[in-house]
Amino acid sequence: KNEVEQSPQNLTAQEGEFITINCSYSVGISALHWLQQHPGGGIVSLFMLSSGKKKHGRLIATINIQEKHSSLHITASHPRDSAVYICAVEFRDTDKLIFGTGTRLQVFP
């Protein structure tokens, strides 16, 4: 069964802390997406990756194909990083995109 699990569901942090959000999936994938959803609903695509590591500003996404696991890291977190972070996986066998239920991050000043 094609499944995507995120952890933690909720995360609070103090400004400046290093944040890690995890995503695990069940079977082989073609691509994994990390998305950010701000209050009010708009979703922004942060990363799409199928191997290795990608970095954009203070955000880093890594994926370990053998372990079927991806992490999203935020360095020097800031209150404006407060959002829901969503992992979505394109499974190779079905050509479908399955979304995790998201991690709600709150960063306090």
Partner 1 sequence: DVKVTQSSRYLVKRTGEKVFLECVQDMDHENMFWYRQDPGLGLRLIYFSYDVKMKEKGDIPEGYSVSREKKERFSLILESASTNQTSMYLCASSFLGQGSFNQPQHFGDGTRLSIL
- In the bound state with partner 1, the residue whose beta carbon lies nearer, of 54 and 58, is 54
Q: Least distance to partner 1 from the beta carbon of 40, Å?
A: 7
Task: State in angstroms the smallest separation of the CB of 68 from partner 1.
Answer: 17
**CA end-to-end span of the chain:** 41
Q: For binding to partner 1 (CB under 8 A), which residues are involved?
A: 4, 30-31, 33, 35, 40-45, 48, 50, 86, 88, 90, 95-97, 99-102
> Smallest distance from the beta carbon of 3 to partner 1, in angstroms?
11
Of residues 91 and 107, the one with the C-beta less far from partner 1: 91
> What DSSP element (H or E) covers 31?
strand 29-37
Looking at beta carbons only, is 17 or 97 nearer to partner 1? 97
- Shortest CB 92 distance to partner 1, Å: 8
